[in-house]
Structure 1
Amino acid sequence: MTWNDREVACDESGSDGENLTGGNTDVFAHAGVGLPVDAATACVREIRDRIRSPAEEYKATHLLREKHRAVLEWLLAPGGPIHARAHVHLVEKEFFVVDRTAHLLLGDTAEALFLYRAGRRTFGEAGWREFVRAANRLLRVRHDGQPSEPAELFFRTVDDLRRAHARTAVAPVLDRLAASRSRADDYRAGLLAGPPLIPLLNPLLPAIVRTAAYWSAGGQEVRLVHDRQNLLTPERIAWIEETARLAGIRLVGLRLVVAGEDPRVQLADFLAGIARKLASDELNRRADRALTALLRPYVDPASVWGDEAGHAALLGKISPAVPSADINSAV
């Protein structure tokens, strides 16, 4: 594979659909691996030879076991088999919910990072949990109760927080949210007509566009090979390709494969699972600093991440998180 004929294999880890605040994971990861097939085959074979598990299908969990730490370090290390040929885009799910809420209700995401950081400090754990869960329910496509219930719950929660924190720095943002009921009602009414092509809360589709942007930097064409996903219908693949084109990203194709039949996708699956676990450990203050340092060169600087300490550890600096509006604005 040459840089003029770049084919990148992709997979994800941490997908809970639209349930971003009550699912099994708090981080979503989308990885791309730019190795030729023969090199990926040799890498997967080496991993199997080093781990020697009888399992037919290897997953990231095999490499994350303490007894296989040396294999994990070998895989991620500078000069290792995927170094400079792999990349992972991370999405901190709670921040993604706040970002998408700000996009829908305020018309932009300029306040998302401030609301996320200041809100967590100001509201307390219980108040913050209530807010993000109400926001998640508001934006979800599927809902079993009355059509107006998610909006009523969200704005009741916002009103409670406004009363409790009226003299804090976050109060003006809460006031703006409280005044956005019509936008929320329009959104919920639109869902009654049928599910949208692009779910507002699913991070996979914009992550694929971002992965294409990373690998096509410098104007190179890129083709993506992706593990099969129910979400990746022909219509949504067409949306990905058109969104990339409008953003000036030279994505020339996206095709789906069975992960077990493409060693490059297997490596992307390994990297996505490893990155999700290590990033989650950072988010929950239980990180292994040595492993985080090994992961850092693979992390996309445009990852959607709000937690300040995790941002510093994973991206090597403290700076504002990159909101998803650049790509998600088309959603």
Structure 2
Amino acid sequence: MNPTDISRHPALEIACDESGWEGSNFAAANSDVIAYASVRLSVDDAEACVRLLRGRTERQHHEFKAGHLIRNTDGAGLAAFLGQDGPVHGRARVHLTHKSCFIIGRVLDIFLGDFADTVSLGLRPDPRLAAQATALCRSGQEIFGRDRWQAFLSATNLVLRENRHPKVHGPVDAFFDQVDALRATVGTTADGWLAGLLGDLADARPGGYAARIRLIENHVLQPVLEPLLPALARTVLHWSAGTQPIAIVHDEQSALTERRIQRLEHVLAEPPLELIRPPAQGRFLQFRQTDSRTEPRVQVADVLAGVTRKIASGGPLRSSHPELSELIQPYLDPASCWCAWPADRAV
């Protein structure tokens, strides 16, 4: 297939929305999960889906949300929505981001990985650092204790944030002080991988200021604390298979600016990734934001994202209806930034 052929293919329209995004303070968030859902539905099918989900709810004239479905139905109702005979089965995808895993991965990326993960939109992370981030996130609280671990996560979040009046030295010093505190906590009893990782981080302190400056200078187009961009990149690749132009209809989201969308397309198309084949004319990735209250396809994506996030987060819903964990499996992006449980255990 040559670029001219690709340009003749009509764009595949996908509706997207997220659940769990609360801003850049990941360490103190109410939810530990972000779910980014995409659905391939016609407007008519989406409207029919929303009518089905509403049932006899009293909120007929308001936007239907995941919370309404969870409150107004039992496990059987959720199972009907997610199951093989449900309205979105085989026509939807969900990318999960575990917030602690994300910020740990990104802090290793900027101090040890030369921004490889950030620059590639999460598509080409350093495998060794990605594995270490997962291992550290899974075991950190158990090894270091809740207070020490939370202090480390807070310092990690702070050093990654680009505030209105960003500082360089203070956040970097605070982060590496926490690294030293973790090393002192475990002493010589740390496992080999953990001692090695903390040692590598401690050794990175001299270059910490330069990494922080780079983060600040590039934050507009390469934001290190923006998980929706990797989620969107994975979504585009899933639905397009690298050749089918995509038109995204998205709920209003300030983080997804036109400049960032253009950069996303450029990164996917150009070396070293070259994961999509742009058309001879026009854009491979079209992006339109809309008010979800007037777009039923986005409402369905929002419901799917919210339901999946609630199930993945655990708590009473999953405890009461453990079968729901199995039902969300077909929807999940296997490349999700997820480390809440070992890989051989279902979400």
Q: Could you tell me the TM-score, scaled by structure 1's length?
A: 0.86
How far did 1:126 drift? 2.0
Unaligned 5+ segments in structure 1 are: 315-331
Per-residue deviation, residues 142-181 of structure 1 (Å, max 9, x unmatched): 1768542111111111111112212211111101001112
Name 2:259's counterpart in structure 1.
Answer: 235
In 2: Cα distance, 1:32 partner to 1:304 partner: 16
Instruction: Find the partner of 2:313 among 277, 280, 286.
Output: 280
1:142 aligns with 2:163: yes
1:188 aligns with 2:188: no
How far did 1:56 drift? 1.2
Name 1:113's counterpart in structure 2.
Answer: 134
State the aligned residue count. Answer: 312
Which stretch of structure 1 is more off in the superposition, 232-241 or 91-100?
232-241
How far did 1:197 drift? 2.4
**Identity of counterpart residues, as a percentage?**
40
1:244 aligns with 2:275: no
Name 1:91's counterpart in structure 2.
Answer: 97
User: Which secondary structure does the structure 2 equivalent of 1:308 belong to?
Assistant: coil
Name 2:247's counterpart in structure 1.
Answer: 223
Name 1:320's counterpart in structure 2.
Answer: none
Contact 2:162 2:219 in 1 (8 A): yes
Name 2:87's counterpart in structure 1.
Answer: 81
Name 2:187's counterpart in structure 1.
Answer: 166
Per-residue deviation, residues 20-45 of structure 1 (Å, max 9, x unmatched): 11122110111000011111111112
In 2: Cα distance, 1:312 partner to 1:287 partner: 18
In 2: Cα distance, 1:164 partner to 1:285 partner: 34
In 2: Cα distance, 1:203 partner to 1:192 partner: 17
Contact 2:15 2:39 in 1 (8 A): yes
Listed as ranges, the matches of 1:256-295 within 5 Å are 256-281=289-314, 286=319, 288-295=321-328
Question: CA RMSD for the aligned pairs?
Answer: 2.6
What is the letter of the counterpart of residue 42 of structure 2? Answer: P
Which stretch of structure 1 is more off in the superposition, 240-249 or 279-288?
279-288
User: Which secondary structure does the structure 2 equivalent of 1:30 belong to?
Assistant: strand
Name 2:201's counterpart in structure 1.
Answer: 177
Per-residue deviation, residues 275-324 of structure 1 (Å, max 9, x unmatched): 1111111799847311111211111111111122587212xxxxxxxxxx
In 2: Cα distance, 1:270 partner to 1:162 partner: 43
User: Which secondary structure does the structure 2 equivalent of 1:17 belong to?
Assistant: coil
How far did 1:58 drift? 1.3
Contact 1:32 1:88 in 2 (8 A): yes
How far did 1:218 drift? 6.8
What is the letter of the counterpart of residue 273 of structure 1? Answer: G
1:300 aligns with 2:324: no
User: Which secondary structure does the structure 2 equivalent of 1:87 belong to?
Assistant: strand
Q: Could you tell me the TM-score, scaled by structure 2's length?
A: 0.82
Name 2:286's counterpart in structure 1.
Answer: 253
In 1: Cα distance, 2:177 partner to 2:218 partner: 26
In 1: Cα distance, 2:238 partner to 2:149 partner: 33
Which stretch of structure 1 is more off in the superposition, 27-36 or 123-132?
123-132
Instruction: Find the partner of 1:199 among 223, 227, 235.
Output: 223
Name 2:177's counterpart in structure 1.
Answer: 156
In 2: Cα distance, 1:81 partner to 1:132 partner: 39
Per-residue deviation, residues 108-150 of structure 1 (Å, max 9, x unmatched): 4242223223433321222221211111111111176854211
How far did 1:189 drift? 2.7
What is the letter of the counterpart of residue 176 of structure 2? Answer: F
User: Which secondary structure does the structure 2 equivalent of 1:165 belong to?
Assistant: helix
Name 2:66's counterpart in structure 1.
Answer: 60
How far did 1:223 drift? 2.2
Name 2:154's counterpart in structure 1.
Answer: 133
In 1: Cα distance, 2:244 partner to 2:111 partner: 36
Contact 1:283 1:310 in 2 (8 A): no
